[in-house]
Amino acid sequence: MITGKNYIGNQLSSTGNVTYKTINPKLNIENEPTFFEASQEEVEKAVYLASEAFEGFKKMSGSKKAKFLNAIADEILAMDDLLIETYISETGLPEGRAKGERGRTIGQLRAFADLVIEGSWVDATIDTSDLDRSPIPKQDIRKMLVPLGPVVVFGASNFPLAYATAGGDTAAAFAAGCPVIVKSHPMHAGTGELVASAINKAAIKTGMPEGVFSNLNSSGIEIGVQLVKHPKVKAVGFTGSIKGGRALLDLASQRPEPIPVFAEMGSINPVILLPEAMTARSADIAKTYAKSITLGAGQFCTNPGLILGVKGKNLDHFIKVLSDEIIKIKPSCMLHPNIISNYERNKTNVLQQKGISVTANLENDIAINHARQTVTTVAGKTFLENKILHQEVFGPFSIVVQCKDIEELETIINTLDGQLTGTIIAEKEEISRYNTVIDALQNRVGRIIFNGVPTGVEVCPAMLHGGPYPASTDSRFTAVGVQSIKRWVRPFSYQSWPNELLPDTLKNENPLGISRIIDGNRTSSKI
């Protein structure tokens, strides 16, 4: 059952007097439950409990944390239809997507459970002593990763499960040993509360300290601001717009004690069409891209919003087929009336720019809150000179840039902001011929794709989901896959510490049997 209340540790609480409702975008009506925005006292209590919980949670064994993570996955699955129905009513997304995202969320929780059971993720590095060394004896130094402290997580509107309450950020923070306070996304507060109840049940069942998790409702930015400024909060995870992520980064860096903000933000995901691939298969590529641009009503951070090619008949053909094909695709419902009004506003802003031509724009009547897919084209010089054209239009929208030659295409890549992905559509031999284009793209992106589409982010250890600013605030880390745990930890060294007082991870006997680096050699052996 959805109560509309906040989870402050194990307690459901609603002491505030600001209320709000979520919206069913398909029906364009408010959903039933009323949500109570967290009061200042509730925010204080959640943070206090989290910092108290940290003292026990940070020392918890990998197997105990894994039980907690697996129990969250079990509790989410146990909610079955209620969760799926709530997700659909708050997002307008279809059942298949809801179930797929639930599967991804469960998979992430279980992958982190496996990681912490195995235990080697702490990067244990041991340099044994050499007290006879002259002129100065060498001390015994042992290093491992330790958790940062309470983490605040902001989820995005477009992933109510996988990048939200029990999404990747939360699962990674729990695995690291950090308590989590979620600032619930106002557009899917019901889905958020249900998942919060699953986390809470799992925490109680597996004996976690109270305060290891809280879920705070809010309809505006104030609660998030209060959380990021709170001295007991030690890190922030954010998935959303560049505007939101940048605001939080600035707030966090202005604190007396600045803290890290790992923000995953917007991106236009450039796609580079190289000449021979265009000669060989421009129509097929166009058909594939019509689908990629409209997938999920274009509401993906990896949506291909920018396509770069060299002017000529092959690119003309590509634009024609892309435009013809995209119009045939049935429009889908966007997540919220605010999202569609932002889409229309941002798109109109681009369409009003000098030199932009619309090549596809659905003209038919469409259902309420459904998005009209749009393809535009512009000359390379115009694109270079107008930064407005470089901004994300969150929705089923893309600009095809017609460059006068490959040099102009490369210049454009060099002027782009940092991006999550870059895609090269090419024949194999073009990779070495256009190596400076590939190098330029590699400088601007976190992931480079060969002859594919950027939409679809596999969850696996080798995935890098992030990129140079503003795709993310710290391009050294991924937000997807088990290595995202590295965002919530810091390296810590023990010097000359008695063996029996060291954590098991660093003891001579290696009781956990993990892989460590001892005096420069990777091994699972004892010392």
Judged by beta carbon, residue 184 or residue 510, the one nearer ligand NAP is 184
Contacts of residues 362-365 at CB distance under 8 Å and 24 or more positions apart, as own/partner, are 362/327, 362/331
Q: What are phi and psi of 23, to 5 degrees?
A: -120, 140
- Between 478 and 497, how does the x/- string for binding to ligand NAP read (CB under 6 A)? -x------------------
Judged by beta carbon, residue 68 or residue 159, the one nearer ligand NAP is 159
Nearest to 398 by CA among 381, 417, 414, 383: 383
Active site residue 264: yes
CB under 8 Å to 85, separation ≥6 — which residues?
none
Instruction: Determine the interface stretch with ligand NAP among 105-113, 135-143, 215-223, 492-500 (rule: CB under 6 A).
Output: 215-223
Judged by beta carbon, residue 341 or residue 435, the one nearer ligand NAP is 341
Judged by beta carbon, residue 182 or residue 441, the one nearer ligand NAP is 182
Size of the site for ligand NAP (CB under 6 A): 29
Judged by beta carbon, residue 42 or residue 140, the one nearer ligand NAP is 42
Pick one of 112, 318, 394, 434: the residue that binds ligand NAP (CB under 6 A): 394
- Subset of 414-433 contacting ligand NAP (CB under 6 A): 420
Judged by beta carbon, residue 241 or residue 398, the one nearer ligand NAP is 241
Contacts of residues 27-36 at CB distance under 8 Å and 24 or more positions apart, as own/partner, are 28/337, 28/368, 28/369, 31/89, 31/90, 31/190, 33/2, 33/3, 33/4, 33/189, 33/190, 34/4, 35/4, 35/186, 35/189, 35/190, 35/193, 35/217, 35/219, 36/4, 36/5, 36/6, 36/217
Min. distance of Cβ 154 from ligand NAP in angstroms? 4
Residue type, 355: G
Check residue 167 for interaction with ligand NAP (CB under 6 A): no
Min. distance of Cβ 493 from ligand NAP in angstroms? 33
Check residue 154 for interaction with ligand NAP (CB under 6 A): yes
CA distance 85 to 496: 57
**Which residues partner with 490 through β-bridges?**
146
State the Cα torsion 458-464-469-470 to the nearest 10°. Answer: 10
Looking only at the bridges linking them, the beta strands covering 419-425 and 270-273 are parallel
Check residue 265 for interaction with ligand NAP (CB under 6 A): yes
Q: Can you spell out the DSSP letters for 38-75?
A: PPHHHHHHHHHHHHHHHHHHTT--HHHHHHHHHHHHHH
- Between 220 and 259, how does the x/- string for binding to ligand NAP read (CB under 6 A)? xx--xx-------------xxx--x--xx-----------
Alpha-carbon distances of 112 from 115, 211, 327, rounded to whole Å = 5, 20, 42
Pick one of 13, 86, 89, 157: the residue that binds ligand NAP (CB under 6 A): 157
Q: Name the token pair of 485.
A: 């745990």
Min. distance of Cβ 412 from ligand NAP in angstroms? 21
CA distance 179 to 214: 9
Judged by beta carbon, residue 126 or residue 479, the one nearer ligand NAP is 479
Looking only at the bridges linking them, the beta strands covering 23-24 and 29-30 are antiparallel
Min. distance of Cβ 368 from ligand NAP in angstroms? 19
Active site residue 403: no
Check residue 193 for interaction with ligand NAP (CB under 6 A): no
Number of Cβ atoms within 10 Å of the Cβ of 429:
9
CB under 8 Å to 95, separation ≥6 — which residues?
84, 88
Check residue 445 for interaction with ligand NAP (CB under 6 A): no
Judged by beta carbon, residue 62 or residue 240, the one nearer ligand NAP is 240
Pick one of 169, 264, 325, 417: the residue that binds ligand NAP (CB under 6 A): 264
Q: Which is the catalytic residue, given 37, 52, 101, 301?
A: 301
Residue 350 DSSP SS3: helix
Q: Which is the catalytic residue, given 193, 264, 408, 430?
A: 264
Instruction: Determine the interface stretch with ligand NAP among 154-162, 311-319, 400-408, 435-443 (rule: CB under 6 A).
Output: 154-162
Q: Is the peptide bond before 186 cis (omega within 30 degrees of 0)?
A: no
Pick one of 25, 119, 266, 418: the residue that binds ligand NAP (CB under 6 A): 266
Let me know: does 180 contact 153? Beta carbons within 8 Å.
yes
> Which parts of this chain interact with ligand NAP (CB under 6 A)?
154, 156-159, 163, 183, 185-186, 218, 220-221, 224-225, 239-241, 244, 247-248, 264-266, 301, 392, 394, 420, 465, 479
Catalytic residues: 264, 301
